[in-house]
Every structure is written in structure tokens, then in C-alpha cells.
Amino acid sequence: MEKRSPKSQLPPVKTKKEVEVWVGMTVEELASAMAKDIDCVYEALLNTACDTDSLEANSHLDEVWIKEVIKKAGMKLKWSKLKQERIRENKDAVRRPGADPALLRPRSPVVTIMGHVDHGKTTLLDKLRETQVAAMEVGGITQHIGAFLVSLSSGEKITFLDTPGHAAFSAMRARGAQVTDIVVLVVAADDGVMKQTVESIQHAKDAEVPIILAINKCDKTDADPEKVKKELLAYDVVCEEYGGDVQAVHVSALTGDNLMALAEAIIALAEMLELKADPTGPVEGTVIEAFTDKGRGPVTTAIIQRGTLRKGSILVAGKSWAKVRLMFDENGKTLHEAYPSMPVGIIGWRDLPSAGDEILEVESEPRAREVVEWRKSEQKEEKGKDDLKIMEEKRKEHQAAHRRAREKYGSLHWKERSYMQYLQRKEQRLLKPKEKVERDSSVLPVIIKGDVDGSVEAILNLLDTYDASHECGLELVHFGLGDISENDVTFAETFDGIIYGFNVDAGSAIQQSAAQKGVKIKLHKVIYHLIEDLQEELSRRLPHALEECPVGEASILATFTVTEGKKKVPVAGCRVQKGQLDRQKKFKLIRNGEVVWKGSLTSLKHHKDDVLVIKTGMDCGLSLDEEKVEFKLGDQIICYEENEVPTKTSWDPGF
């Protein structure tokens, strides 16, 4: 029988790797799609008509060269239908180019009053504009940024921005400096330079704004203006009498002394700065404050920086727009026009912009809507990118955890591995209810409601400084503007939280509803009182600490051993120096200032009698509940009791 010739062995067919490419891709993108380095692309294009010397990583490749590289790499080409992302046309509104010098007109200076809390900023403004601002501001601290126009007897005008002097409001002070021409730094002559004073100096320098020093409270007997000037030298604020360029004016906001000299100093500096603006064309400005008024809807306080604002103007700010229905000044008087440097209240906003947003005038309502839609879509796109980053980080964390688990159980037999995983899952199930209780009791959910945008932002900035999450978590459930609503109470009930209201009201019906649902509503008119209240609430949630309170103290005068059955028990002969020894309390043994032992007594005798209490001056013998402890002459025995004391949160918000 003939042998069949063996079938010829065919070599296995090698499938080519498929690479997805698109028109106009760059060198770097092609290398990435091929999973090769950039050098591979350059090598493939050598000895071709392509000018490789001029190729960069971000250079776009023609179709012919993309095909050439793929062919030489031994790969298969697949054209992508639409890889190139469509570039959207930018629909945003932007500021105009610089104005023609011929159009510029002199304008009033915009001045920010800065300084430490209680150094007299509000009183100073009161005197300057001769109105009672303090009636609206409680506790000597300005509650939110306001803007006021002050007309002097000389006919000059000054616009004042009033920023809070509290250490935590650095963001608001920095915003005030964005539209500011001059900073008046108020320092109390009897108090000197404080932490918030230094912060104010830093903000002015960062914004490159000149400073005028107002040394306040010069009417006080312990006032020392020269000390203030010397202290400021350390922070590079050099007054004119020390060879610098900072004007220093000694004032008393309370009595009104020398305030005209301060106003003249501001006007003199403004003339040197040659402040000018273009009052023509579309309006540009900045939102200083934003709040919702019950009868008028969203309202903003703004400073006009260019152009002239009139009724009917279409404005955009942030992600909101307005058709100006009404304009008014700081006294509520209706305005028909607002020029550069003028503070103005604007009514007609569709939504509430944020304090600090740029105001720009556009030609029509459709254009305003287009700008707002563009900005919202940009924000959405940015959020999408951020979300993708977070998802990628989570995926990497999950992969790393999975890899660690594989390494942990990799060497085990599958039965052992399954049993170990079962035990782990069982342990997690047992822990879950307990963990939930602990988490609930160690987290304080809060809801913040404020009167205006700037106040809420200041409170949120303070909450951002919270660094005691290891003691008790602080969870911001919701924040917003306006009075406390039923929705806020429902939120608080759901999360077992507390509602904090700043300069807002809670109606009787809301308070009754909150009482029925067991929800706390806390209303405040001073921001740092609100924060102190929050600190107390956080402290209440912390476990109590044990504090040792001494009851008595005795000195060891002799040591000996007694036999009890088969055991030898060391006994200390003592004399009570202070207080009394109570056998039912706790004791500790002190040697050379260090605690050697803590515990209870097994016996306390006076002569041969067992006693419960030994008083000052009496002798006694005692033995401890730990037999290995050796007594030495001169040791101290302290009798004490442990009392629970409330713990305070370690969070320091900075005031």
C-alpha cells in the first residue's frame, strides 16, 4: 500500500493590525493610533518627497503620507468617517478694544475702604456721606459689599466700595480691588496693625492699587499714630514723613475730625492718577453685589466702567442677561443714566448673576440669549471633561484594587481563595449597620441661606477652611438666597441637618413646620456669630473627653510585704498630704514626675481596720491591683476621679 504524501503544511495567515486614521491628523496622532513612537513615523517618511525636516509633532499630514506610513509599518488602513471634532464658532461677548484717547473723559475715583474689623470703616463711611449706614449693619461689621457715591462740598465725587474687614472675606476684598482705583487702609491708632490689616495690604499690592493710610480713633487717649506708621514699615507701606509715597491722614470717624483732609487726599491722588474713561458706546462694568428682592426680582449693584447705561439697555453678566427696566442710586432714587465710576442698582435680570461677574452690553435680546447659551454650553463641556477625568481616576483606582486583590489571593488554592473572600464579605455585612450609625452621628449636614450673593459666598469661603473632618464631618447640603422656605426644611429633615440663615427671615408657618419635623433653624445677623454657633454645633457632636480631677494626695513613707495565703503582697505605708483617699475612686502612682501605674486599690487600712476613706494628716497602708509594681520611698499616690468634659472642635476659621 502506497503511503500518502503528507499534506503540505501552510504557514498561518498573519492578520494585519487595523489602524483608524482621518484626514488632517498630526504626526503625534498617527503615532498614537499605530501604538508606536513618533520616530517610527519619521523613519517611514525618509527617502520620500515629504519634507521631514520641517515636520513637528503637531504637523498635519497629507493623505498620501498617512497611507505611506501605514503601508511601511505593515498595517491595514481604516478611514474614520468623522474623527475631526467640529470647531464651534465662538459666540461669546467680550470687552471692546482700548478706547480712542480723544474720547476719554475724567471720571470719579473708585475707592475701597479696607482694614481690620472694628477699626472704624463703617463709621468712617457714615461721616463721609452723612447717612446712617450703621442702621443696616449690625455688630460693627459690614455685612456685604455695597457701593456708594459721595458728593463733596467742592463738587468732587468719590465712589466708595465697602468691603468686610473680617479675615475670612479675602475673596470679597480681592474682588473689590478689581474695580478699585485707590485703597483707603483704616488702622486704629490704639490697636495698630492686625492680621486683617496685613491681608488688606497684600490685596492692594496684588491689584497694584495705591494706598492712602487713614489712622482712625486719634481722639482716644491711648492713640499712638506714630507707632502705627512704624509698624507698617515692615509691610513696605512707607508714609511720606519716612520718605515714602503713602499719604497718612490722622482721623476720628466718631467725631468727624480731619475727614475733609482724607477726602482731599483721595482727590489729590486721583488727579495724579489721571483717571479717565470712555462714556460712549456699549456699556462695560462689574457686578458688585447681587440679591433677590421680593417685589422686584433679581437686583444687582454694579460699577459702570465704560459707556453710559440707560433704561432699555440689553446686558449680559456671567450666565444671565437683563433688559434694564429700572436703575436707582444708593438712596433708592431712580436714575435715567449711569456714567463711568457710578454705582447703580439694576433691575430687569432674568436670572441672578454672581458678584464679580463682568457686565457687557449687547445689541439685542436674541444676541444676549446666544451669549448666555454659549457660556452655558462651554461650562457644560468643561464639566464633561472634568467628569471624564474623575471617571478615569476611579477606573484606575478600581483596577489597582482589583490587582492588589489578585496578588493577595493569587497563591491560594481556589477553595481557600473563595473561603477568604466569603469571610471578607461577611465581615463587611456585619460592619455596615454600625458604620452607618457612626457616620450619621459624626457628620453635621448644614443648609446656608443668605440675603445677598456676597454674604453667602463669604460664608462658603469660611466653610472651605474646615479642616477637622477627622473629628466630625461638615456637609453642605444646600445653599441659596432668600428667606427660609418649606423646601429648605424638607432638605434639613431628609439629611438630619441644621438650617443657618444670615440676614433672612423664617415665617411663623415655616418655624412651626420645622419644630414639628425636629429641624433646627438658626438665624444670625453677624457672620462670625453664625460661625461661632456652627463651631458649637460641631463640638456638641464630638465625644466627651475624660478629665482627671485630683481628690487626694499621699506620700509613701515606708514599704513592706504582707503574706496573704501563699502570696506575698507589697504594701505602702502612706500619709495623706492633701484632700482624702477614697478607696472607690481611681489611683495613680507618681515617681519623679512620671506616672508608673494607674488602677484601683485592693485594700486600704488605717492601723488594722479596713476603711473606705482616709483624710488629710492620717496614716494608712494600701495595696494595688497590680502586684508587680514596686513601691519606693518618696513616691506619690494620687487619688482622682474622671469627669466627662465637652470637647471643642479644633477648626479655627481665622478670627
Write down the number of H helices and E strands in the chain: 14, 32
Please compute the mean of the pLDDT values over residues 25-39 and round it to a whole number.
Answer: 86
Sorting pLDDT into bands at 50, 70 and 90, what band is 12? Answer: low
**Per-residue pLDDT at 117:** 67
- Using one digit for the tens of pLDDT, what is the confidence trace for 430-471? 544 444 334 456 789 999 998 887 788 888 888 888 888 888
Sorting pLDDT into bands at 50, 70 and 90, what band is 1? Answer: very low
Three-state DSSP class for residue 621: strand
**Per-residue pLDDT at 422:** 66
Sorting pLDDT into bands at 50, 70 and 90, what band is 587? Answer: very high
**Per-residue pLDDT at 367:** 94
- What span, in angstroms and rounded, lies between the C-alpha atoms of 301 and 144? 11
Q: Could you tell me where the DSSP H helices lie in 252-341?
A: 259-273
Please compute the mean of the pLDDT values over residues 553-557 and round it to a whole number.
Answer: 94
- Top pLDDT among 427 and 638 is at 638
* Residue 414, all three cell numbers: 481556589
Q: Mean pLDDT score of the chain, rounded to an integer?
A: 82
Residue 245, pLDDT above cutoff 80: yes
Please compute the mean of the pLDDT values over residues 119-130 and round it to a whole number.
Answer: 71
For residue 118, give the amino acid letter.
D
Please compute the mean of the pLDDT values over residues 236-251 and round it to a whole number.
Answer: 89
List beta partners, residue 3: none
Sorting pLDDT into bands at 50, 70 and 90, what band is 282? Answer: very high
**Per-residue pLDDT at 130:** 62
* Residue 4, all three cell numbers: 500518502
- What span, in angstroms and rounded, lies between the C-alpha atoms of 131 and 125? 9
Kindly report which listed range (156-170, 276-290, 365-379, 390-404) carries the lowest average pLDDT score. 156-170
**Per-residue pLDDT at 441:** 61
- What span, in angstroms and rounded, lies between the C-alpha atoms of 567 and 250? 85
- Top pLDDT among 144 and 443 is at 443
Residue 132, pLDDT above cutoff 80: no
- Using one digit for the tens of pLDDT, what is the confidence trace for 92-121? 888 888 888 888 899 999 888 887 766 677
Residue 549: count other Cβ atoms within 10 Å of its Cβ. 10
- Using one digit for the tens of pLDDT, what is the confidence trace for 494-508? 888 999 999 899 988
Residue 317, pLDDT above cutoff 70: yes
* Residue 530, all three cell numbers: 453664625
Kindly report which listed range (250-254, 408-412, 432-436, 443-447) carries the lowest average pLDDT score. 432-436
Residue 8, pLDDT above cutoff 60: no
Residue 137, pLDDT above cutoff 80: no
Residue located via cell numbers 473680617:
166
**Per-residue pLDDT at 88:** 58
Residue 340, pLDDT above cutoff 90: yes
Please compute the mean of the pLDDT values over residues 204-218 and round it to a whole number.
Answer: 87
Q: What is the phi/psi pair of residue 289, to 5°?
A: -150, 150
Which strand (E) or helix (H) includes residue 508? helix 508-517
**Per-residue pLDDT at 141:** 37
- What span, in angstroms and rounded, lies between the C-alpha atoms of 134 and 136? 5
Report CA 450 to chain centroid distance, whole Å. Answer: 17
**Per-residue pLDDT at 471:** 85
* Residue 73, all three cell numbers: 509599518
Which strand (E) or helix (H) includes residue 68? helix 63-72
Please compute the mean of the pLDDT values over residues 468-487 and round it to a whole number.
Answer: 87
List beta partners, residue 642: 548
Give the β-pairing of 443-450 and 473-481: parallel
Please compute the mean of the pLDDT values over residues 284-312 and round it to a whole number.
Answer: 88
**Per-residue pLDDT at 620:** 94
**Per-residue pLDDT at 428:** 56
Please compute the mean of the pLDDT values over residues 165-172 and round it to a whole number.
Answer: 41
**Per-residue pLDDT at 347:** 93
Closest CA to 506 of 529, 533, 526, 488: 488
For residue 264, give the amino acid letter.
E
Residue 176, pLDDT above cutoff 70: no
% the chain with pLDDT above 90: 27
Closest CA to 308 of 338, 348, 351: 338
Sorting pLDDT into bands at 50, 70 and 90, what band is 322? Answer: very high
Sorting pLDDT into bands at 50, 70 and 90, what band is 533? Answer: very high
- Top pLDDT among 623 and 98 is at 623
Residue 237, pLDDT above cutoff 50: yes
